[in-house]
Chains A and B, each alone.
Chain A
Amino acid sequence: MNRLRILLLLAWRDAVRHKGRSLLIVALVALPVLVIGAADVLLRSQQGTPEISVRGQLAGSSAYLWAPLGAASTDQSPADTWAGQFVAVDKSARPAATATFEGGPGDPAMVDVGQTPLRSASEVLALLPAGSSVTPWDHGNTPISADGIRYRMADADLLDLASPAAGDRYRVTAGTAAAGPDQLTLTPALAAELGVAVGDTISVGAPARDYRLVGLVEATVHGSTPVKAVVGQANAVAGVAQWNGPRYLVASPVPIGWDLVQQLNAVGIQVYSRAVALDPPFVPEQPYDSGAAIGLAAAVILVVLGLTQVVFLSGPAFAIAARKMRRQLGLAAATGAAPKHIAGVVLGSGVLLGVIGSMLGTAIGALIGVWIQHPLTKWTGIDFPGVTVRFGELALIAGIGAVTSVLAAAWPAVTALRTDPIAALARRAKPPKRPGMISLLGLVLAGVGVIVVVWAASRSIPAEITGMARSDVTGQRSLWIGAGLVAIQLGLVVGTPQLIALFARLGRVLPTTPRMALRSTARHRGRSTGAVATILVASTGAVLAAVLIHTMNAQQETEYRPALRTGIVTGTSYSTAPDGAVTADGRDRAERAVDGLVERLWPGAPSAVANRLAVVGHQSEEVVPTEAADYRCPWYSPANGSSYVDRDITVPDAGESAAAATDIRCAGMSFSALTPEQGHIAVSNGQSSMPSIVVGDATYRRLLTGVDDPAADSALTAGKVVVLDRHYFDKGKFSISTMEWPNNADKPTYHPAGSAPAVLGRWALSPVIAIVPPAALASLNAMAGAPGFVVETASATRAEAESLSATGEAAGLSLSVYVETGLPPWTSEFPSVWLILWIAVALIIGVVLVVTALGVVDADDDSATYAAVGASANLRRTLSGWSALTTTGVGCLLGAASGLLVSWGIYRLLQNLNGGEVGMLVPWPQLAILVIALPAVAFGLAALFTRSKIQLIRRAE
């Protein structure tokens, strides 16, 4: 016992004496533990506890009921929440009443089930235990505006806060709760965003009307309850989705158990009950067992944590500390310390610093995990229902951290076991071993990997191989490239010692300082190998991601066809009349509303009203233009059937597909490579928010196209149709048909409706096929339908489009708005690629910092010698700078090279498969940053953190 004490004492005193070094080790031990600790707290907080999640759903209420429309009885499992995913199944005689509530108004299923009467609050109350109370609760989205002009959408929660059934879901923080049908309250966040105060008037609803803001309320629960919301009494606000059927909150004096839930189910009511959620009855088909997955995740975390600790972080630091203690340990050996004692001292420092580091790391990690929840919710919208800290798990993480750091100290301890005391006392350093055979084999493996990648990528696939066979071959090739990448990375990692030795040998021609730095990098290979390997792998990933991002963005840019000029906003309303017909009076009112809306939002901006083309008795999508026979895409065969919206084109083979792609008659259709197996291409118009045939005038035409075309304008004035898509211009005429697609038919039938004289207008982009002047309506047997507009703004944004849509809704118009915003970057759809890039860069910088710190800690020895030979005080700075530069540079260079090689391989494969139009694009500036700037930064950091002061050797050391 005492022996152990003296060993720990030696370790501890050494740690205290070299505070910088010990701090570094503690930090390196703490780092991974910190990350894992924080992740644990975040994960657990996100999962919450059953109590927290039930509170998030119900606040203080006992249950939530939903009486779906038309459901005579329903089935639910105890785990179901009210999130709106219920499938209401009528098990009685009416199969038609089976409905999933995904449709909207006008959905045939809705019409059908709507025949079952709603259940009122008093009807529901009668089914509940005596003494219960029930209050209706609506939840949805509604337009809201402070000035009645500019609207935005907001969550709406409609319930009577005074009812005991509301369960203190909201706390009144200012004013009072809404007590009447024209009163509302807002959450403070929403009030602040709108810039309104208690007492103000606000416009809410669809159609909107005015309410008085009587108070501010704060949600008492988070989770699925919105934080920014309008709160008023149920049915106060028009347009909040109610068609799912009434919902109720319940306060009950006795728990609502599973038996009662099943009774309510039997009469078509869904229930989310606190009692059932907290104590669910046994249900045979349990969801999947997460135990195994958690075990696997834990094992992976353990291995990763252990490896990083041992190989990259505290392992090298402990090795340095042990090396620095060598003389002392030799002295102890001379005084009679056995090898096991010596190893004990080294291990002891692993135990001490490991325990401190992992405890600190866990504590700080947990604190960060708690602290970061709020900002995280703000940035990403991830919801943390409540801070949940599992101390057992944190203790386990700290324990694992301590154990792995003892493991990290094990190798240096083993080395210390073999210390020759005489050599240690004489301060004779062991000459570095030459890098071994394995390392050479690594380089060979990397070479083989390069050959495999080049082979798999450069061999072209014979043209006879087409279709599925072609993609099969490509799939095999990509496997080869993947294998090559693995071989290159693994080989380079294993071969790193050889590489460093090689570089050191190459360095002979360099000036003294970099040459010395190279030597020392090669000499302290143990320290630099892990670093070079990490940087190598990270920069390979970074280059791969960067090239991919760059190339894909360019590809999209060439392929992107804007539908409109930037700044043009179009809106289209829908007719909700069941037969699609629009009365002249109704249309005029809507037209005035649209006009007013545009005028209010963009006063003075050039605008024009444009209506859908409507044919009495038909929905708008049933009115289609007739194609010109002489300008039909030859591969389009009407025999295959189809509509304008969805045409089937048979193209016999890939060769003809290429021909189709260049045929002007097929222009505007997007072709992908065809395979005989697929046999057809689906072509869709794409811009569903814009009608294809518009009733409008010359002003509309000019605004929409932005093209000067006096001939077209005078044609419109003269009552002729202007056709913008050549496919529908048939010898000076434009015709329309109506389409009918009976329920059990597999093809629609077309009936010509009418035709009018037309001219061909100029416009390259063609979301709109034809502009019909009002004068031409009669000959087409059509009329102006639901109104829309086009307006030219300086620059319109997505937010404005959303606001416009909300404002339209507030005006009682179902408006679909299209704003041309240009191409969003490809990466916005693939955040993971950015993530890889950033993780790689962060990793590289982190490794550079660690290596620099280790180098600085390790570099004390020679300073007196340097001073003795008259070296300048800055020599040490320059030396450690060069050292960091070498380590980073070697890693970045090799990583960039293998990243480039593999991305070239992937690109070649894709080209073989698709015949891509865009060449592989290398982001040279970013690559330069990686290969030049990062090593330079490493140089700077290392130089900055190295003490330039020359220390004279301590007297007793």
Chain B
Amino acid sequence: MSIEAGKHRPPEHTGQVLVLRDVVRVHGSGDAEVRALDGLTISIAAGEFVAVMGPSGSGKSTLLHLAGGLDTPTSGTVRVEGTDVGALSVSGRAALRRRHIGYVFQDFNLIPTLTAAENVALPRELDGTGRKAARTEAMAALAELEVQDLADRFPDEMSGGQQQRTAIARAIIGKRRLLLADEPTGALDSHTGEAVLEVLRGRADAGSAVVLVTHDARFAAWADRVIFLRDGTVIDTAGVDSAEELLAHSR
């Protein structure tokens, strides 16, 4: 199986959604200094589904934090939809996330005191959309993930897979084109995991840029492109046959 091409049709390039250039992120200083990312350059276009793989501590989560504006690079630039994230204020980055970025984590994605619909509507409401309008949008997003029936349930009344679908629904509400998922299948069984992947694939096909962090090569196989990280840099994948081989090699 080639890792160059995904199973599905090739991406339609409608512009670069996420661009990282020479990004360095250093934690701590002196002896305790950790270079979580070390000169990373990546660009991801709309409609593209990219999987990020690498051993633990290689900087995958850091990459997503930077892409999502939760963190800023020590040096280099991160652009989302053409905006330099590092130049924005904290509130500016929050607004960017509200409007353009969807986040899905491994678990505990939902605010326990809000219902599914309220969780999904949250970014819209924070952005000033009216309650009714936000709920309509949230219902549409939930329907897209086929969990509209759970709209008024609280997170602790849902299964793990249902929670992840709801989280994805929240990540795609509005006019977002960047979906960042950090091991969204990590807490799910493989069957449910496949279903989540299908949804992500669907989003990419619909024109979003999707970045998926995963340890599982089977899931990475859904992607158009796989980026391998080690010690904060992209590994050259030329001459490597399969993702399994690469992972084994890097461990």
| Chain A residues at the B interface, C-beta cutoff of 8 Å | 2-3, 5-6, 9-10, 13-14, 16-17, 327-328, 331-341, 421-422, 425, 954-957
In the complex, number of A-B residue pairs with CB atoms less than 8 Å apart:
94
Q: Does chain A have a CB within 8 A of B194? A: no
By the criterion CB–CB under 8 Å, are A2 and B125 in contact? yes
Cα A347 to Cα B127 with chains together (Å): 19
Interfacial chain A residues near B113, Cβ < 8 Å: 10, 13-14, 16-17, 328
CB-CB under 8 A for A5 and B131, given A328-B113, A956-B154: yes
Which of B10-18, B88-96, B206-214 binds A?
Answer: B88-96
Could you mark each residue 134-147 of chain B with 1 if its beta carbon is under 8 Å from any beta carbon of chain A, else 0? 10000000000000
| Closest residue of A by beta carbon distance from B94 | A338
Which residues of chain A are within 8 angstroms of B126 by Cβ–Cβ distance? 3, 6, 332, 335-338, 341
A338-B90 contact, Cβ under 8 Å, with A2-B130, A422-B71, A956-B155: yes
Can you list 5 A-B pairs, Cβ within 8 angstroms, ordered by A? A10-B113, A17-B113, A328-B111, A331-B108, A337-B94
Instruction: Please state if A956 and B108 are interface contacts (CB–CB under 8 Å).
Output: yes
In addition to A422-B65, A956-B155, 17 A-B residue pairs with Cβ atoms within 8 Å of each other are: A13-B114, A17-B113, A328-B113, A331-B109, A335-B98, A335-B126, A335-B170, A336-B94, A336-B95, A336-B101, A336-B123, A336-B126, A337-B98, A339-B94, A955-B156, A956-B112, A956-B163
B8 to chain A, nearest CB (A): 29
* CB closest chain-B residue, reference A330: B70
Contact A339 B163 (CB under 8 A): no
Are A333 and B156 within 8 A (Cβ)?
no
* Closest-CB distance, B132 to chain A (whole angstroms): 10
Q: How far is the CB of A139 from chain B (nearest CB, A)?
A: 68
| CB-based nearest B residue for A426 | B61
> Which residue of A3, A335, A339 contacts B128 across the interface (Cβ within 8 Å)?
A3
Set B71, B99, B111, B130: member contacting A332, Cβ < 8 A: B111
B111 touches A425 (CB 8 A): no
Answer whether residue B54 sits at the interface, using C-beta atoms and an 8 A cutoff: no
How far apart are the CA atoms of A10 and B125 in the complex, in Å?
12
- B128, closest chain A residue (CB): A3
- State the main secondary structure of chain A at its contact with B: helix
B105 in the interface, Cβ–Cβ < 8 Å?
A: yes
Which of B90, B95, B111, B155 has its CB near the most chain A CB atoms (within 10 A)?
Answer: B111
Out of A9, A16, A17, A335, which one reaches B123, CB within 8 Å?
A: A335
Closest 4 CB pairs of A and B: A336-B98, A13-B113, A956-B155, A338-B94
Q: Determine whether the beta carbon of B97 is less than 8 Å from that of A335.
A: yes
The answer to whether A336 and B90 touch across the interface, beta carbons within 8 angstroms, is no
Q: Are A339 and B90 in contact (CB under 8 A)?
A: yes
Q: Cβ of B228 < 8 Å from any Cβ of A?
A: no
Q: Which residues of A contact B131 (CB under 8 A)?
A: 2, 5
A422 to B93, CA, bound (A): 14
Q: Which residue of B lies closest to A957 (CB)?
A: B112
CB–CB B111/A331 < 8 A: yes
In the assembled complex, the Cα of A820 lies from the Cα of B170 at a distance in Å of 87
Given known contacts A334-B103, A336-B99, A957 and B108 CB-to-CB distance under 8 angstroms: yes
Within 8 A of A (CB), among B147-196: 154-156, 163, 170
A2 and B128 contact, CB distance less than 8 A: yes
- Chain A contacts of B163 at CB under 8 A? 956
Residues of B in contact, count (CB < 8 Å) = 38
B16 CB, nearest partner CB in chain A, Å? 22
Q: Does B47 lie at the interface of the complex (its beta carbon under 8 Å from any beta carbon of A)?
A: no
Decide if B68 is an interface residue (CB 8 Å cutoff).
yes
- B-chain residues with CB within 8 Å of residue A327 when the two chains form the complex: 108
Cα separation A338 to B122 with both chains bound (whole Å): 12
Determine the residue in chain B with the shortest Cβ distance to A427: B108
B50 at the interface (CB under 8 A from A): no
Given contacts A10-B113, A334-B103, A340-B91, contact A3 B125 (CB under 8 A): yes
- Select one of A17, A328, A421 contacting B70, CB under 8 A: A421
A327 to B111, CA, bound (A): 9
Looking at the complex, which one of A14, A335, A425, A955 makes contact with B122 (CB distance below 8 Å)?
A: A335
Smallest Cβ distance from B82 to chain A, in angstroms?
Answer: 18
CA distance A341 to B97 in the complex (A): 14
Nearest neighbor of A421 in chain B, beta-carbon distance: B70
* Contact between B156 and A956, CB atoms less than 8 A apart: yes
- Residue ID in chain B nearest A953 by CB atoms: B108
Q: Give chain A nearest CB distance to B175 CB in angstroms.
A: 13
Q: Is B129 an interface residue (CB 8 A)?
A: yes
* Known contacts A955-B156, A957-B108, A957-B112; is-contact A334 B70 (Cβ 8 Å): yes
Whether B110 is near chain A, meaning CB under 8 Å from some CB there, is: yes
CB-CB under 8 A from B130, the residues of chain A are: 2
Is the CB–CB distance between A332 and B105 below 8 Å?
Answer: no
Contacts of A338 in B (CB 8 A): 90-91, 94-95, 126
Residue of A nearest to B163 (CB): A956
Distance between Cα atoms of A339 and B170 in the complex (Å): 20
Q: State in angstroms the CA–CA spacing of A341 and B108 once bound together.
A: 20
B70 contacts across to A, CB distance below 8 A? 333-334, 421-422
> How far apart are B133's CB and chain A's nearest CB, in angstroms?
9
Distance between Cα atoms of A406 and B234 in the complex (Å): 50
Question: Which of B70, B90, B112, B123 has the largest count of A CB atoms less than 10 A from its CB?
Answer: B112
Inter-subunit contact B91/A339 (CB<8 Å): yes
Contact A328 B123, beta carbon cutoff 8 Å: no
Residues of A contacting B129 with CB < 8 Å? Answer: 2
In the complex, what residues of B have CB within 8 A of residue A334's CB?
68, 70, 97, 103, 105
Q: Are A954 and B128 in contact (CB under 8 A)?
A: no
Q: Please, which residues of chain A bring their CB within 8 A of the CB of B91?
A: 338-340
Q: How far is the CA of A14 from the CA of B118 in the complex (A)?
A: 14
Assess whether A10 is in contact with B111, with CB atoms less than 8 Å apart. yes
- Interface core residue of B114, B118, B156 (most chain A CB under 10 Å): B114
Contact indicator B108/A335 (Cβ below 8 Å): no
Tell me which residues across on chain B come within 8 A of A333, comparing CB atoms.
70, 94
Q: Which residue of B lies closest to A331 (CB)?
A: B111
A92 vs chain B, min Cβ distance (A): 87
